[in-house]
Amino acid sequence: MDETLPPVGLGTMGIETPEPVTTALDVGYRHLDTAQIYHNEHVVGAGVAASDVPREEVFLATKVWADSLAPDAVLASTQASLARLGVDTVDLLYVHRPIESYAAEATLPAFDALVDAGKVRHVGVSNFTIDELDEAMATLDAPLFAHQTEYHPLFQRPELVVHAQEHDYHVVAYSPLAGGQVFENEVLQDIAEKHDTTEAAVSIAWLRSMQHVVVIPKAASEAHLRANFAAQDVRLDAEDVTRIEEIEDEVELYPE
């Protein structure tokens, strides 16, 4: 891959004011993730504009929702996203889900056209299966840059990570704290106590221990923003990693 994503970014679903975005940039975040369906692109854009961090230092990602994946709608909705974000170019544009108006042979050339036009720097997909990933890579002219998927100790998909490693793109793990359920898991509690940290930090550190994986926890308070960002410095040992991999829970927060 021609660019490395910051290891811990900010997921912004549910963030309704610019202040957490600006605070995140002040803390050190440089990867911001939003989506058309979150209805807060204007909020994220305002948070970036209010920060002292130059725009070129911020990796900004958004997603085209399932009702706008026909070619003309991809182009129109992306232009609207850029306007809401207050930018000329977005660093990463995702297909949010391969449903409704998505058809690889029609949708993905529109994403390529946006790259060619300089509106988008990288193309990504989200919530895809391996077969859908293979189809996307075969259809796109641009390299697949990222696959965003729910991933946490209670919902593990190692085959997706292996696929990303084999094909040299990023896995972007959303909901890495399982909506707070990581705090209730005894294995994570035990490992957190061992390292004098939190279950959230253990979950983030576990995901970060995998090659090609970055995480985008959502947080709004400065305390949580700082804690999630600092979690990238937690180092788990091989025993910790094995214990987490052996967790048998199956908690999917966002099924199709």
Indicate which residues carry an active-site annotation: 38
Q: What are the tokens at 85?
A: 């974000």
User: Taking a C-beta distance cutoff of 8 angstroms, is the pair 214, 8 a contact?
Assistant: yes
| Strand arrangement, sheet containing 10-11 | 10-11, 31-33, 59-64, 90-95, 120-126, 144-150, 170-174, 213-215
Q: What are the tokens at 63?
A: 């997603």
Q: What angle do CA 142, 146, 151 make, to 5 degrees?
A: 160
In angstroms, how far is CA 168 from the centroid of its own chain? Answer: 16
- State whether residue 166 is helix, strand or coil: helix
Q: What is the DSSP letter of 5?
A: P
Which of 169, 247, 167, 166 has its CA nearest to residue 213? 169
